């Protein structure tokens, strides 16, 4: 465990400094990428003490690694947690947390709009091991409370959600979860620790796909879970045996990306707000979903629990998928891809990205229009992004079916 917790420092100071000094060597100002798989000991007693956890040290790369430890500590301090452990991907963080605590016969309550992979665990893998999963309509707080009240082992939340950026009231859900002794888990990937700290709102475990905003450059995969020492030690134990270990090189890239986390997230949120307002004025846009807009169904909850509204928004085009096919290829400053949270602006239709596994009817039932486009706003100059949209909309106006 790290000595310097940076308790009095601001969030960007933490993002730059936390977790690093303890891992530096030879006076280097940066954390080294330690690629060694094993760590040797000449003293047999010392080796034994490290192996049984009596003394701190590294034994084998699947368990711990100095570069990975720096990454874990940085996120831990940003989330204000006692402990953190990391994973090879965000999905590994999610599945390992769930499998650590769930046993046959247990019940999970969650929402319908979780990340696609998470939804697959809920609808496919957990039922296979006789875990009962109840998925409530996202944003229907009464329905979630009613389900939780019947008893559950885990209350699993994600807020904001993909792709219509719905918000769940974390404090209110924590109250319901605590009343029945549930472990409350929150996927904080969209919000980032810059905009929201679920642990401070009472949640037990906060997790991230570090692949997205934490890394920020779409060049490294990773996941992380933070919480109390008691819970995280159990998750770590499952992960060290299960083997979904974060690789040192990815840990380094994520560490480097995180130093600019606040700068990026603030700019992305500012630009997202301007783009949302621009889109609201477009004739060919049916609806805009951004929690920063007063028109958003959960604007008040977002205002209450988030420090900023984030860089994710979506909009529905008139003319559905036909219009999407005309508009998206016209954009210059755009990756048309399934990723999000990167420095480059990324566009993707829900039909092809977050909800590719759903049928047209399922998407309709979830309130996802066929012409829905998700934007992960990058750090480009917002004037350029809006001008780019403007020329694409002019093209669509001339070519709409
Ligand atoms: C991408 C994502 C995940 C999964 O993360 P991977 O690193 O791709 O495994 C989980 N939750 C959310 C909200 C995501 O956006």
**Two structure tokens written together for 2:** 């790290």
Q: Is 116 in the pocket of ligand 1 (CB under 6 A)?
A: no
CATH topology assigned to domain 261-399: 3.90.1150
Within its chain, how far is the Cα of 182 from the centroid?
Answer: 21
pLDDT tens digits along 122-175:
999 999 999 999 999 999 999 999 999 999 999 999 999 988 999 999 999 999
- Tell me if 115 CB under 6 Å of ligand 1: yes
Task: Take residue 42 and report the two structure tokens written for it.
Answer: 């000449």
Which of 177-191, 259-273, 366-380 shows the lowest mean pLDDT across its residues?
366-380
Task: Please give the share of the chain, as a percent, with pLDDT higher than 90.
Answer: 91
**Greatest Cα-to-Cα distance within the chain, rounded to the nearest angstrom:** 77
Domain ranges of the chain: 11-258, 261-399
pLDDT digits (tens, 9 = 90+) for 175-195: 999 999 999 999 999 999 999
CA-only gyration radius of the chain, Å: 22
The reported pLDDT for the residue numbered 366 is 76
Sort 44 into a burial class: Cβ within 10 Å, 0-12 / 13-18 / 19+: exposed
Tokens 């307002």 label which residue? 277
- pLDDT, one tens digit per residue, over 101-127 is 999 999 999 999 999 899 999 999 999
The protein residue whose alpha carbon is closest to atom 5 in ligand 1 is 90
Q: Whose CA is nearest to atom 7 of ligand 1?
A: 90
> Do the domains spanning 11-258 and 261-399 agree at the CATH topology level?
no
Residue 3's pLDDT is: 60
3-state secondary structure of 134: strand
What is the model's pTM?
Answer: 0.96
Ligand 1, closest atom to CA 94? 10
Per-residue confidence band for 325, with pLDDT thresholds at 50, 70 and 90:
very high
Read out DSSP for 344-379?
Answer: S-EEEETTTTTTTTS-HHHHHHTT--TTEEEEE--S
How many Å lie between the centroid of ligand 1 and the Cα of residue 227?
Answer: 19
What is the second-level CATH architecture of the domain 11-258? 3-Layer(aba) Sandwich (3.40)
Cβ of residue 208 lying under 6 Å from some atom of ligand 1: no
């Amino acid at each position: 465990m790290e000595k310097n917790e940076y308790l009095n420092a601001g969030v960007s100071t933490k993002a730059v400094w936390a977790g690093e000094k303890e891992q530096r060597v030879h006076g280097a100002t940066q954390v080294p990428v330690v690629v060694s798989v094993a760590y040797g000991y000449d003293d047999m007693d010392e080796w034994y003490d490290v192996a049984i956890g009596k003394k701190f040290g590294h034994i084998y790369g699947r368990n711990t690694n100095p570069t990975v430890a720096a990454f874990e500590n940085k996120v831990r301090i940003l989330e204000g947690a006692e402990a953190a452990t990391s994973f090879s991907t965000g999905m590994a963080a999610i599945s390992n947390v769930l499998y650590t605590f769930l046993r046959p016969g247990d019940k999970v309550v969650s929402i319908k709009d979780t990340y696609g992979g998470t939804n697959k665990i809920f609808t496919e893998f957990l039922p296979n091991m006789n875990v009962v999963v109840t998925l409530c309509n996202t944003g229907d707080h009464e329905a979630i409370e009613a389900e939780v009240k019947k008893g559950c082992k885990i209350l699993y939340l994600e807020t904001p959600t993909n792709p219509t950026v719905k918000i769940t009231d974390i404090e209110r859900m924590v109250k319901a979860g605590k009343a029945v002794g549930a472990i409350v888990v929150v996927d904080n990937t969209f919000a980032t620790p810059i905009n929201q700290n679920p642990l401070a709102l009472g949640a037990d475990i906060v997790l991230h796909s570090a692949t997205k905003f934490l890394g920020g450059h779409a060049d490294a995969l990773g996941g992380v879970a933070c919480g109390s020492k008691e819970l995280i030690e159990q998750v770590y134990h499952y992960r060290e045996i299960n083997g979904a270990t974060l690789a040192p090189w990815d840990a380094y890239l994520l560490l480097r990306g995180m130093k600019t986390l606040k700068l990026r997230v603030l700019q992305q949120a500012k630009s997202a707000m301007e783009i949302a307002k621009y889109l609201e004025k477009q004739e060919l846009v049916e609806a805009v979903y951004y929690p920063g807009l007063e028109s958003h169904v959960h604007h008040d909850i977002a205002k209450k629990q988030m420090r900023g509204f984030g860089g994710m928004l979506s909009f529905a085009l008139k003319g559905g998928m036909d219009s999407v096919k005309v508009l998206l290829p016209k954009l210059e400053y755009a990756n048309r891809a399934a990723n999000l949270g990167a420095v480059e602006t990324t566009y993707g239709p829900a039909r092809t990205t977050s909800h590719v596994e759903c049928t047209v009817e399922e998407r309709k039932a979830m309130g996802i229009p066929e012409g829905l486009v998700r934007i992960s706003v990058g750090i480009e100059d917002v004037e350029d992004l809006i001008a780019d949209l403007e020329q694409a909309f002019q093209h669509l106006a001339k070519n709409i079916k």
